[in-house]
Amino acid sequence: MASTVRRLGYAMYTLNWMMTMKSKLASCCLFQTTVEAEGSRLWWRHGKS
């Protein structure tokens, strides 16, 4: 019984860690995409003038 609880706890910990890493990765990708979009927009504006 104890091993089952321990295994369940480990699974929950792993799942939580994966979710945390996924959210960090998502926010990082979102930040990069935003920066690239902003940069291309500025470049486009300066390039046209």
Tens digits of per-residue pLDDT, 28-37? Answer: 999 999 999 9
Q: How high is the pLDDT of residue 44?
A: 86
38 within domain boundaries: yes
DSSP assignment letter at 26: H
Domain membership of residue 32 (yes or no) is yes
**Residue 38: which domain range?**
24-49
Query: In the chain, how many domains are there?
Result: 1
| Amino acid identity at 1 | M
Residue 48 lies in a domain: yes
- Global pTM? 0.55
Domain membership of residue 15 (yes or no) is no
Query: Distance between CA atoms of 29 and 47, rounded to whole angstroms?
Result: 26
Asked if residue 43 belongs to a domain, the reply is: yes
Q: Is residue 2 part of a domain?
A: no
16 within domain boundaries: no
